Amino acid sequence: MPSSTAHVATDRPARYVRQLVSHMGHRTTTEIAGDGRGTITLSGGTCVLTPSGGHLDLIATAGDVEALAGVQEVITRHLLRFATQEELAVEWTAPVTAESMQIIDPVIGDYLLTHCTPADEVLQDLVVETREATGGASGMQISHDEGAFLTMLVRLTGARNAVEVGVFTGYSSICIARGLAEGGRLLACDVSDEWTSIARRYWERAGVSDRIDLKIGPAIDTLRALPDEPTLDIAFIDADKVNYPLYYEEIVRRLRPGGLVVLDNVFLGGRVVDPAHQEEHHVAMRRLNDLLVRDERVESVMLPVRDGVTLARRR
């Protein structure tokens, strides 16, 4: 089945999804999920519309290339009609099949989202509020499938003592806190009062605020202030990329044998493999990725989960 995607830059992605789904719902089958993703099923194929920070992702799928062109045409025409206050550029990629897809093609990304334990209402509402409150920054939030993966890892390690570096509005903290064993605690590190004030509200709603200790300040100071003993069961690193090597070092020496450190965004959108990108955080991430392979204190695996996730388990 050929598919095609379009990445449309706009400040009002969620609004377009609501408008299209509502308007086209009079003539065809449409659906809007609790997190704001829309699906429009036309006679020739379907289109999934996903609002994100600063853009709208469209995924059209149809039985053949001709039908696909029909879906693209209908969606593009309606989208442009609703864009009365801005000029949208809707450029579809050439049709792709499974054989020619990238590792995390948007079609697969969408499939991943809908094939793990579903997000509950709290997480869905958090996605929507984060998008509305933080705009383009909302792209920093982990995806739902990654959140489900985190909960699974926390449960599998039987963790009681967890650390998170990079809270933002609290999605990953909820996922970690929910997986903790009885009596477990999560030390959550961030520098932003503003973003973590949203997190605090959602921790309350999720019923996990009693097991999270939020520490506002540079995470490196918070980590260095921890006892220099192997007491940590799991840690999730998802903050300023340039300091990843420092965070890793402070955490790995405090992991108990069998403890796990989880690093997010290790692909940096693919830039880690492109030497043309030489900014400080690119260089730092490349070095850390290389170091992890040689670090005899851990066994590690890098996974194509979203922007790349590395798991390093203390021997």
Ligand X SMILES: C[S@@+](CC[C@H](N)C(=O)[O-])C[C@H]1O[C@@H](n2cnc3c(N)ncnc32)[C@H](O)[C@@H]1O
Comparing CA positions, the residue from 38, 51, 59, 54 lying closest to residue 86 is: 54
* Closest distance to ligand X from the beta carbon of 243 (Å): 6
CB of 222 to ligand X, least distance (A): 8
Q: For the CB of residue 66, give the shortest distance to ligand X in the complex, in Å.
A: 41
Distance of alpha carbon 168 from alpha carbon 264, whole angstroms: 14
Residue (69 or 142) nearer to ligand X, CB: 142
What is the token pair recorded at 80? 């442009």
Residue 31, amino acid: E
Alpha-carbon gap, residue 254 to 256, rounded angstroms:
6
- Pick between residue 5 and residue 169 the one whose CB is nearest to ligand X: 169
Residues that bind ligand X (CB under 6 A): 140-142, 166-169, 171-172, 189-192, 195, 218-219, 238-240, 243
**CB nearer to ligand X: pick between 112 and 219:** 219
CA pseudo-torsion sign 27, 33, 37, 39: negative
DSSP helix/strand/coil, 145: helix
CB of 191 to ligand X, least distance (A): 4
CA distance 264 to 147: 11
Closer residue to ligand X, CB minimum distance, 24 or 174? 174
According to DSSP, residue 242 is labeled G
Tell me the CA distances in angstroms from 25 to 21, 96, 144, one per residue in order.
6, 27, 26
Which residue, 243 or 300, is less far from ligand X as judged by CB? 243
Compare residues 3 and 141 and give the one whose CB is closer to ligand X: 141
Residue 75: count of CB within 10 angstroms of its CB: 22
The minimum distance between CB 106 and ligand X, in angstroms, equals 20
CB of 207 to ligand X, least distance (A): 18
- Let me know the angle formed at the C-alpha of 253 by 249 and 258, rounded to the nearest 5 degrees: 115
